[in-house]
Structure formats: structure tokens, C-alpha cells
């Protein structure tokens, strides 16, 4: 009897020493995510796991118990890499918080871009962000600097000012002016810009050679260009199809990686032919990537050139004024005309497809959304307070009822899961998550090392993680109520720190980091 007690004590003490000497039980992680359905789109993992997080990284993925200083119970919930938005114009604190409820852990301004790059990163770092942030170099602003004598201070939202300037958007640049524009972009790339944002769509008559030279520069620096293509029309000449051909030609000729922003809203009812053209170029080895936002309505200024001219309605796929709304009210031919004449900068909603009432339009909608290896990106615009007419910025939360924007700023990612995984069942959950996390990371990772550690749930990856209830996840934002937060996000973690927990925003948590290329 005495012997038995002694040996039992011996076994216990050996076990205790083993624990101390480095078996996994001995490690206490900063944060443990317990027992969730862990999905990693790169390795194909879709199984119950525990995650151990230390110093902002996922350091352990285990089938069994891990010990943590803090533990989040994910039993019955999906644990996936945080969503990466390549097209986020709302580089403001309230916009970032709104997107956090939609599962976005990295939001980048790549299509419009910013100037000056260093000032932009400094401005955001000073205020702090719950999610990661970054930007490309803005061709529109570089062009406005040279052709309109504009100057910029890296203030978020500053790019909206270009729409009031006359020259950059209408004039050809001389050789010298083109050289100056390219020099501004090159300086921005050396300051760590993530690529070149090129909105030829808002300057359709700008130089073809300038567009080509921008891609030569992109190739030299091995960064992508992010393109709002030159034309928006189903009719030739000056068709969307022609604009995509131009993009393909410069990518093929220079070897640059050209990224197509919002494939959906620059293709309209011509998407079948456009998709075939782009897929064909990709098959030939031309380096092109694609994104779309999951709505059949766009949003821009009513004064834009695409809504002018004799046959503009035909060019946009036979639309009519009643396909437009302003502040929730459907426009008529007369109210459209009045608004365009009197307040051309008014941001309208434009229903370019009608999938609810037309099977054909639903089919066209799906082509852009399910494009092979296409990313989901929001194209989210800043929120405007319709009482003050100002952008909603600063430490504002909850959002005022007077906040207006396109609902894509609030609901793109949850909506994509709702529409294509839960309702249409055209994608599995892991495929949808791949389009929202891994694919956008891969679009950037050849030029930005940081992105190799994002979009993945793997040991060594950054702990940017969403934990959500699949049965409940959904967008709520609508065109009349556009800033309602998405639902179903139990927790959102950025660089190891929860910013949403128990479905509530932690206002003081600002763990977002800059995503930036090395500075030369
Ligand atoms: Zn755009």
C-alpha cells in the first residue's frame, strides 16, 4: 500500500516536471480561441481546432486544449481569416468601425489612392485605427497637381476634391506634364505606396501613352496598378469592352500586374463579353486580377460624364432616369435633369442591373460576382451627414441616423456570404472566404511582404481573425438605411487584439497597423 502511494507520487512529479519543461500544456497564450470551426482557404483546413495567439501572431493550431490568459469560446462558430478590402475609400475611424462589423480587418484605398503618401500614413497613425490601413499612389491627384496646381496633405477623403477641378479630368497632358505626373507617382512608390491607383474612368480623354507609362513604372517597381477603366458603356465606340482591351494591352506589353476595380459596375450589361475577354487574357498569361462588390447598383456624382450626351442611357445598357435615386427618392426625367444641372456633385444611386425582376440580369450579376479567382472588395465610400453635408470622421460611434452612403460600405462581406453561400449555394463557405481574404492577400503579396502573413489561419500568420455565427451572418444595410451594421460577428481580432467581442465594439481598441512597402 505504502509502495503504491510512493510510485503514484513519483508519476505525478514526473508529469509535473514534463509540464514545466516545455510540452504545449506549459505555454499560456495571450489569447486562445477555443474549439471553433477553423477555416483556412490556402491549406483547405475546415475542422475543429484551438488557436493559440501570442504577440499578435497565430503561434499554435491544435486539435486539443490550449491554455490562454484570455479565452474566447468559439464552439459552434466559424473561425476564419479577417476579410481584406482592396477598395475602401472611407479611410475614417467611423468607416473602419462600420466595416469591422462586416468582418473587415484590413481596408486599403487602392483605386483612387492618396497623396502625399508619408503624410497619409502619419495622419492615420496619429488618430489610430481598429483595422489595418494603407493606400496606393493617386494618379488622379498627381495629375491634378500638375494640370490644376492642386496640392495635397495626405488627408483621408482629400481625393473627392479632384471632382471639382477642370483640367486633370478633361485635358491631354504635354510630354513634360506627363513626366512630372510620373515623377510624383515614382516618389510616392519610394515612400511606400502599395501600387498605383488609376481612375481613367474620370478622365477618359487623358493620354493613352501616359496610361502606358504608368504601367511601365508599375512593372519597374513590381507593384500592381488598380484601375477604374477608361469607359463605361455597352455601346461602341468608347465602350467598356474597348477600355478593358486597353488595360490588357498595357499589362501584356509591360508585364505589369493590372488589377480591375469593380468589374461589376464598369461592365454593366456587357459583362458576358467582358468576362470572356479578361479570362482569355489571363489564360494567355497576362497578369490581371479582378474584384467586384456584391450589389447591382453603383454610386457616383450625377454630374459625371457617363450620365451626359445624347445617347447616354443607351450606352449604359438601356437604363432610364427611374433607375436612379437620390437620398432614397426615385428620380424622374425632370428631377434628374434639375439635380444634374443645379447640384452636379450630388451622390446618386444607380441601378445598372435589375436582378430582382429579371433572370437575365441575375445571370449577369453572377458573372461579375463569381468571376474565377476574383476578390470581393467594397468600394465603400465615406459616410456623409445629410444634415451638415460633411464627411463623418473622428471618434464618432454610434453613427448618427443622418449618416448616408452606399450600403456596400457596411455590408459587402456579410452580404456576399448570405447571397452566394446561404441563399444561392453557388459557393462553399471556404470558397467565399477565399475570395474575401486569401485572394486579396495574394493580389498584393508579390509587392508587399506583409500580405504573405494575412488572409490565412496558419501558424506564423498574423492574428487577424473573424469569429462568426454562420446561421446568423447577414448584411442589414439597405439603400434607405445604409449604415446598419452587419450581424453575426461574435468577435473580430486584429493583430491579436479583439476589436469586437460578444458582438460589441471595443471603442478603445486600436490595434490596426499600416500596410506599406519598404521606404527607400
Ligand atoms: Zn471606381
Angular region, 228: left φ>0, alpha ψ -120 to 50, beta rest: beta
- What's the confidence (pLDDT) of residue 3? 45
Lowest-confidence pick of 98-107, 383-392, 415-424 = 383-392
pLDDT at position 25 is: 52
Q: Supply the pTM of this predicted model.
A: 0.94
DSSP 381: P
Residue 6, pLDDT above cutoff 90: no
- Region 183-200: mean pLDDT is 98
Q: What is the pLDDT of residue 26?
A: 76
For residue 242, pLDDT over 60 is answered with yes
DSSP string, 297-359: EEEEETTSGGG-STTHHHHTTS--GGGEEETTEE--HHHHHHHHHH-TT-EEEEE---TTT-H
Confidence category of residue 12, pLDDT binned at 50, 70, 90: low
Convert 426-457 to b/e letters by CB count within 10 Å (16 or more is b): ebebbebbbbbbbbbbbbbbebbebbbbbbbb
Q: Confidence class of residue 301 from pLDDT cuts 50, 70 and 90?
A: confident
Q: What is the largest CA-CA distance in the chain?
A: 102
For 229, the grid coordinates are: 477603366
Please tell me the distance between residue 269's alpha carbon and the centre of ligand 1 in angstroms. Answer: 17
Taken as a whole, the chain contains a residue count of: 520
Using H for helix, E for strand and C for coil, what is the string for 382-441? CCEECCCCEECCCCCCCCCCCEECCCHHHHHHHHHHHHHHHHCCCCCHHHHHHHHHHHHH
Q: What's the confidence (pLDDT) of residue 308?
A: 86
Place of cell 487584439: 497
Q: For the segment 38-72, what is each residue's pLDDT rounded down to a tens digit?
A: 999 999 999 999 999 999 999 999 999 999 999 99
117 Cα: distance to centroid of ligand 1 (angstroms): 20
Distance 427 CA to ligand 1 centre (A): 26
**132-174 tens-digit pLDDT:** 999 999 999 999 999 999 999 999 999 988 888 999 999 999 9
Question: What is the pLDDT at residue 359?
Answer: 96
pLDDT of residue 164: 84
Mean pLDDT of the 344-359 span: 90
Protein residues placing their CB within 5 Å of the ion ligand 1 = 228
Asked if residues 278 and 290 have their Cβ atoms less than 8 Å apart, the reply is: yes
Residue 87 CA, ligand 1 centroid: distance in Å: 9
Residue that the C-alpha cell 502511494 belongs to: 5
| Mean pLDDT rounded to a whole number for the chain | 94
pLDDT at 397 > cutoff 50:
yes
Ligand 1 center–CA 169 separation, angstroms: 14
User: 199 C-alpha vs ligand 1 centroid, how far in Å?
Assistant: 7
Cα(240) to centroid of ligand 1, in Å? 13
Helix (H, G, I), strand (E, B) or coil at 517: coil
Amino acid at each position: 500500500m505504502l509502495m503504491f502511494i510512493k510510485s503514484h507520487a513519483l508519476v505525478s512529479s514526473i508529469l509535473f516536471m514534463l509540464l514545466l519543461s516545455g510540452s504545449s500544456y506549459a505555454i499560456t497564450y495571450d489569447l486562445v480561441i477555443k474549439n471553433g470551426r477553423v477555416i483556412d482557404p490556402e491549406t483547405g483546413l475546415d475542422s475543429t481546432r484551438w488557436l493559440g495567439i501570442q504577440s499578435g501572431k497565430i503561434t499554435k493550431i491544435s486539435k486539443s486544449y490550449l491554455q490562454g490568459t484570455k479565452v474566447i469560446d468559439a464552439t459552434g462558430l466559424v473561425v476564419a481569416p479577417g476579410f481584406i478590402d482592396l477598395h475602401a475609400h472611407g479611410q475614417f475611424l467611423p468607416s473602419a468601425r462600420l466595416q469591422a462589423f462586416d468582418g473587415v480587418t484590413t481596408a486599403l484605398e487602392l483605386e483612387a489612392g492618396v497623396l502625399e503618401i508619408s503624410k497619409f500614413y502619419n495622419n492615420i497613425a496619429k488618430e489610430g485605427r481598429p483595422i489595418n490601413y494603407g493606400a496606393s499612389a493617386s494618379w488622379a491627384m498627381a495629375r491634378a497637381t500638375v494640370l490644376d496646381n492642386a496640392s495635397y496633405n495626405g488627408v483621408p477623403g482629400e481625393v473627392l476634391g479632384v471632382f471639382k477641378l477642370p483640367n486633370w479630368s478633361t485635358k491631354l497632358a504635354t510630354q513634360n506634364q506627363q513626366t512630372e505626373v510620373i515623377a510624383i507617382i515614382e516618389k510616392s512608390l519610394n515612400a511606400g505606396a502599395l501600387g498605383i491607383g488609376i481612375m481613367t474612368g474620370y478622365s477618359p480623354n487623358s493620354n493613352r501613352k501616359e496610361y502606358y507609362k504608368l504601367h511601365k513604372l508599375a512593372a519597374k517597381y513590381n507593384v500592381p496598378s488598380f484601375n477604374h477603366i477608361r469607359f463605361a458603356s455597352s455601346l461602341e465606340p468608347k465602350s467598356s469592352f474597348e477600355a478593358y482591351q486597353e488595360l490588357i494591352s498595357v499589362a501584356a506589353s509591360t508585364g505589369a500586374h493590372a488589377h480591375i476595380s469593380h468589374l461589376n459596375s464598369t461592365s454593366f450589361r456587357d459583362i458576358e463579353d467582358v468576362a470572356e475577354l479578361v479570362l482569355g487574357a489571363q489564360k494567355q498569361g497576362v497578369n490581371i486580377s479582378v474584384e467586384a462588390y456584391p450589389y447591382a447598383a453603383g454610386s457616383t456624382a450625377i454630374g459625371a460624364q457617363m450620365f451626359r450626351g445624347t445617347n447616354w442611357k443607351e450606352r449604359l445598357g438601356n437604363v432610364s432616369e427611374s433607375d436612379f435615386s437620390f437620398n432614397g427618392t426615385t428620380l424622374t426625367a425632370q428631377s434628374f435633369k434639375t439635380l444634374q444641372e443645379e447640384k452636379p456633385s450630388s451622390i446618386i444611386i444607380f441601378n445598372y442591373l435589375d436582378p430582382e425582376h429579371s433572370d437575365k440580369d441575375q445571370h449577369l450579376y453572377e458573372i461579375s460576382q463569381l468571376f474565377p479567382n476574383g476578390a470581393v472588395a467594397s468600394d465603400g465610400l465615406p459616410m456623409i451627414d445629410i444634415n451638415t453635408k460633411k464627411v463623418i470622421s473622428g471618434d464618432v460611434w454610434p453613427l448618427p441616423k443622418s449618416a448616408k452612403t452606399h450600403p456596400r460600405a457596411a455590408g459587402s462581406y456579410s452580404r456576399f456570404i448570405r447571397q452566394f453561400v446561404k441563399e444561392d449555394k453557388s459557393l462553399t463557405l471556404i470558397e467565399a472566404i477565399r475570395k474575401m481574404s486569401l485572394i486579396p492577400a495574394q493580389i498584393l503579396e508579390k509587392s508587399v511582404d506583409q500580405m504573405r502573413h494575412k488572409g490565412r489561419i496558419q501558424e506564423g500568420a498574423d492574428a487577424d481573425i473573424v469569429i462568426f455565427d454562420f446561421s446568423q451572418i447577414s448584411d442589414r444595410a439597405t439603400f434607405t438605411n445604409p449604415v446598419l451594421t452587419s450581424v453575426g460577428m461574435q468577435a473580430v481580432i486584429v493583430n491579436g487584439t479583439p476589436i469586437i467581442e460578444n458582438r460589441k465594439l471595443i471603442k478603445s481598441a486600436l490595434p490596426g497597423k499600416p500596410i506599406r512597402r519598404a521606404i527607400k
